[in-house]
Amino acid sequence: MVGELLKGLASFRRYQYSADNPAMPKLVAEGQSPRFFIISCIDSRSNPGTIFRAPPGTFFEHKAMGAIVRPYSKETALSAALQFALHYNKVDTIIIMGHTQCGAIQALADNIDDEAISSFISVASGALQTAKNCCEGHDEILARTEQEVVLQSVKNIRDYPSVKSALVEGRVKIKPWLFDMQGGDLLEYNPKSEQFEIISGSSEYDDCRQD
Ligand SMILES: [Zn+2]
């Protein structure tokens, strides 16, 4: 039933349309200016809007199974959205956020026999192979694949024309993130250590370490 959604909407209206905090009417009147563009998995448990408890107007969002970013091609939802975010708005940070226990990565590792799904996720098979080359055991391979998919997606997104020009002009940063669903931690890839490291709860987060 959709009652639980309407209950959530009532709460949203109470907080974001109140006389004390007319955040939504203000955003409608003045326009939006989000700084972030978040690409995440479709998984209902790693939804950025839920886990970051962000007020309206905080980020643009794009969802794809496994948070997979395919190599650039024209006429895709993602390429149009990035163009809009980077050239007609002031987004300065793109976040690609995978997550642990990802069903899409599991399906990739299990070589799922479903053309509608496999035709999309198979683009990440290079990440699975990298994981197989360096890890042993099913769980370790899955965990490493989740990380490698994020890194591969970062590599791919850098080739999107709108992103490429924003990078050249120094207008945007790209952050490879992984949400640990079990523990609730957020991890970011650190190119110096070549590891995903926990940043949630860190009071000394360096916003400039990625470029
Ligand atoms: Zn997922």
Query: Ligand 1: distance of its center to the CA of 181 in Å?
Result: 10
> Which percentage of the chain shows pLDDT scores above 70?
95
The verdict on 124 and 159 lying in the same domain is yes
CB-based burial, 112-140: b 16+ in 10 Å, e otherwise: beeeeeeebbbbbeebbebbeeebeeeee
Residues with CB under 5 A from ligand 1 (ion): 41, 43, 102, 104
Query: Ligand 1: distance of its center to the CA of 120 in Å?
Result: 13
Q: Is pLDDT at 161 greater than 70 in this prediction?
A: yes
The verdict on 97 and 1 lying in the same domain is no
The verdict on 79 and 14 lying in the same domain is no
The verdict on 61 and 3 lying in the same domain is no
Question: What is the pLDDT, as a whole number, of residue 211?
Answer: 45
Closest CA to 173 of 97, 96, 93: 93
Query: Ligand 1: distance of its center to the CA of 121 in Å?
Result: 11
Query: Ligand 1: distance of its center to the CA of 148 in Å?
Result: 14
The verdict on 4 and 99 lying in the same domain is no
Q: How far apart are CA 131 and CA 20, in angstroms?
A: 51
Query: Ligand 1: distance of its center to the CA of 42 in Å?
Result: 6
Tell me, yes or no, whether 209 lies in a domain: no
Question: What is the pLDDT, as a whole number, of residue 207?
Answer: 62
Q: Is pLDDT at 18 greater than 90 in this prediction?
A: yes
Domain that holds residue 1: 1-31
How many folded domains does the chain comprise?
2
CATH of the domain at 167: 3.40.1050.10
The verdict on 135 and 53 lying in the same domain is yes
